[in-house]
Amino acid sequence: MKKPDKIILDHGSGGKISHHLTTEFILPIFNNPILADLDDGAIFTIGQERFAFSTDTYTVDPIFFPGGSIGDLAINGTVNDVTMCGATPLYLSVGLILEEGFPIHDFEKVMDEMGRAAAQAGVKVVTGDTKVVPKGAADKIFINTSGIGIIPKGIDVCSKNARVGDKIILSGTLADHGVTILTQREGLTFDAPVRSDSAPLNQMVKKMFAAGHAIHTLRDPTRGGAGTALNEIAQNANVGIRIEETMIPVKPEVSGICELLGFDPLYLANEGKLIAFVGPADADAVLAVMQEDEFGKDACIIGEVTAENPGQVFMETRIGGLRIVDMLTGEQLPRIC
Amino acid sequence: MSLKYMEEYRDADIARSLVEKIKASSKSKIRLMEVCGTHTVSIFRSGIRSVLPETIALLSGPGCPVCVTDQKEIDAFVALARVDNAILTTFGDLVRVPGTVSSLQKEKAEGRDVRVVYSTMDAIDLAVKHPDREVIFPGVGFETTAPTIAAAIKTAQQMKLANFSVYAAHKTVPRALDTLMSSELTGIDGFILPGHVSLVIGTYAYEPFFQAHHTPCVVAGFEPADILQAIWMLVEQIENQTPQLSNAYGRAVTSAGNEKAQALLDEVFETSDVAWRGIGVIPQSGLVIRDLFAAFDAGKKFDLVLPEPIEPKGCACGEILTGVKTPPDCPLYKTRCTPMDPVGACMVSSEGTCAAYYRYHG
């Protein structure tokens, strides 16, 4: 890819163009083996304990939307990133960038929702920082959160660990968050009952580990969607992935909006879903505890890991055809007709 | 259309039985063209190629509105984004298309006010909200989109909105079919005609084309079973040598089409000769704004200085859009030209042939 002369929005899409920015401009500077894994969080050992550490910055327009706000998103997102490393998230930091003129009422509301989300996830915010910038230098409020957690003994999950024969479990319907944000943005006046799925997944994951030891990989398909997450796992573990279209749950109203705008739910963001790669012997037990959890009611097995086509994701379509599922390139844009 | 209805048309059993019928009927090697970009994507997404017999080759046609937008028109959109005090409102898939010197995406990164909207009416709302700004809309698209833009122009006239204008670069489908058939290189045995466009213009709009060429034509919907149904009908017509202009999308498309939309198009636009990217000028295949609405014609309202268009070297857009070549035949495909850094428009739009091949490894 040609060297870009400016940052464009696609550099933040979570797809191939973002990946290029990370690997060409950032990774070489901070070059170290922990960062090089490019998983949801860093995994390292201090003394006898293994830790997971993750950071994420939240900018969302609008800041309040059905099913959540930038506040709970900033807590849940980092809780989930630490959880996907197999860790129990414990402590979070919060950095706030506020735009001059941001209504105090909205600020209070965001803080309230952060507090509620932290309590629900059972994590403590232990340090923080606040900056205010002149009007126009930021959009209302930007939030950075970092989180740290301990990985219990015997747990070892990362994208490289996915192995042939693993069953792929998806915890629920795809694209709810992505479509909700789209319908709330200026200019799109859909009156559809869609809600963000923003949720902390750490309690459910705890139960999953209790039910089955052969959980090899966990991933929350946020920006870039499930399609991009599955591709990253296939590439990192050098295995093939085969999923079935008919098994992938998408809410009818979400699917309808995607049809209308030409979007593929496989590439839209989720904020309360996970994908688990589980050894075949443990898959049913893990699935069963997920289905009992409020955030995994619609969990199902969507496919499995294969030896064929390493590094690639294939999907058996509804009509019995086969097609490749590639990584997202840049942000999906609504089509003309 | 309710989603339940769509699910039915995706139903695996219906699709599988159609595939069996196609396999039983198809004897000779044939080349079918899906004209519309939405069909191209649906064919890839549902894996239709992987279930068809080897006798049937599917070619992708010039029916992605972004892909056929001429370089000069893209340059005009870039120039409009640079107009003092302008808000350039656009459909999303236009922003990445490279013009001769820039793209709308790059202009946005430079600080110009380029905003993605979902309908022309959103642009009207912006014009009302910002009476001190010039709100400009690039009118790109076929007969499907053009009526909504005509409606916006009429609304702007009724509201006496002096700060709203459209740069019309619309194209119409039936004339392009003539051009495709006049090239000996394409060798098309049958057409899968676009469902959404036909909903507006009706099947009768293709009569002159069909009478001139007697090539089998079937209007199709966008679900896998719709497309398979159209392919089966085309195979039958070709094998039995009974070419027809038929409609496999009867639940939406009629012979007369949407007469209200047609009247609106006729009131606001007139036909004109226009250039299609990579294909050249197709007579009377464009829609330009009538003089009666000149106040809302951005092309007339602003004095645009456009660069001499430089078509990207080696880009096979034109041959790909006419089915003469497939994307892997283009020397730039996947090397110099990728969705991350596109050369031709066919690699930009999600419905562009090259982008679809790239994404689904066609």
Q: What is the pLDDT of residues A175-234, one digit of tens each?
A: 999 999 888 875 566 666 889 999 999 999 999 999 988 999 999 999 889 999 999 999
Whether A174 is covered by a domain: the verdict is yes
Residue ending a domain, among A126, A151, A176, is A151
* A256 and A314 assigned to the same domain: yes
The third-level CATH classification (topology) of the domain covering B1-327 is: Rossmann fold (3.40.50)
A319/B12 Cβ within 8 A? yes
Q: What is the mean pLDDT of residues A80-101?
A: 97
Q: Is B341 exposed, middle or buried (0-12, 13-18, 19+ CB in 10 A)?
A: middle
Whether A15 is covered by a domain: the verdict is yes
**% of residues, chain B, pLDDT over 90:** 72
User: What are the two backbone dihedrals, phi and then psi, of residue A169, each rounded to the nearest 5 degrees?
Assistant: -105, 130
Whether A80 is covered by a domain: the verdict is yes
**CA-wise closest residue to B107 among B69, B148, B77, B134:** B77
**pTM (whole model) above 0.80:** yes
* A164 and A310 assigned to the same domain: yes
* A110 and A192 assigned to the same domain: no
Asked if A262 reaches chain B (Cβ–Cβ under 8 Å), the answer is yes
Q: What is the pLDDT, as a whole number, of residue A334?
A: 62
* A43 and A27 assigned to the same domain: yes
Q: What is the pLDDT, as a whole number, of residue A18?
A: 85
Whether A130 is covered by a domain: the verdict is yes
* A311 and A169 assigned to the same domain: yes
Q: How confident is the model at residue A43 (pLDDT cuts 50, 70, 90)?
A: very high
Q: What is the mean pLDDT of residues B99-107?
A: 92
* A189 and A126 assigned to the same domain: no
pLDDT tens string B199-232: 999 999 999 999 999 999 999 999 999 999 999 9
Identify all chain B residues contacting A262, using CB atoms and an 8 Å cutoff: 38, 41, 350-351
* A142 and A246 assigned to the same domain: no
Q: What is the pLDDT, as a whole number, of residue A186?
A: 53
Q: What is the mean pLDDT of residues A313-337?
A: 81
Whether A110 is covered by a domain: the verdict is yes
Whether A81 is covered by a domain: the verdict is yes
Whether A103 is covered by a domain: the verdict is yes
User: What CATH number should be reported for the domain holding residue A43?
Assistant: 3.30.1330.10
Asked if B228 reaches chain A (Cβ–Cβ under 8 Å), the answer is yes
- Give the lowest-confidence range in A117-126, A254-263, B140-149, B238-247: A254-263
Distance from CA of A4 to the nearest CA of B (A): 9
> For chain B, which residues make up each domain, given as ranges?
1-327, 328-360
* A84 and A190 assigned to the same domain: no
Q: What is the mean pLDDT of residues B189-195?
A: 96
Between residues A292 and B65, the one the model is more confident about: A292
**CA-wise closest residue to B60 among B194, B184, B170, B158:** B194
* A204 and A107 assigned to the same domain: no
Q: How far apart are CA B83 and CA A133, in angstroms?
A: 30
Question: CB count, 10 Å around CB of B2?
Answer: 9
* A189 and A78 assigned to the same domain: no
Q: Which two tokens stand for residue B34?
A: 């899906």
Q: Which of A9, A188, A321 sits opposite B47 (nearest CB)?
A: A321
Asked if A252 reaches chain B (Cβ–Cβ under 8 Å), the answer is yes
- With 80 as the cut, is the pLDDT of residue A336 above it? no
**% of residues, chain B, pLDDT over 70:** 97
A330/B92 Cβ within 8 A? no
Residue ending a domain, among A151, A183, A198, is A151
Q: How confident is the prediction for chain B on average, in pLDDT?
A: 92
B360/A324 Cβ within 8 A? yes
A334/B118 Cβ within 8 A? yes
Among chain A residues, CA nearest to B38:
A337
* A167 and A134 assigned to the same domain: no
Q: What is the pLDDT, as a whole number, of residue B1?
A: 41
- Give the lowest-confidence range in A314-318, B117-121, B300-304, B310-314: B310-314
Evaluated on CA atoms B274, B334, B362, B97, the torsion sign reads: negative
**What ipTM did this prediction achieve?**
0.72
Among chain B residues, CA nearest to A333:
B92
Domains held by chain A: number: 2
Asked if A309 reaches chain B (Cβ–Cβ under 8 Å), the answer is no
- With 90 as the cut, is the pLDDT of residue A117 above it? yes
A320/B15 Cβ within 8 A? yes
- Contacts with A, B 289-328, CB within 8 Å: none
Q: Is B46 exposed, middle or buried (0-12, 13-18, 19+ CB in 10 A)?
A: buried
A8/B109 Cβ within 8 A? yes
User: What CATH number should be reported for the domain holding residue A239?
Assistant: 3.90.650.10
Angle at B177 between CA B342 and CA B311, to 5 degrees: 30
Domain that holds residue A186: 159-324
Distance from CA of B323 to the nearest CA of A (A): 21
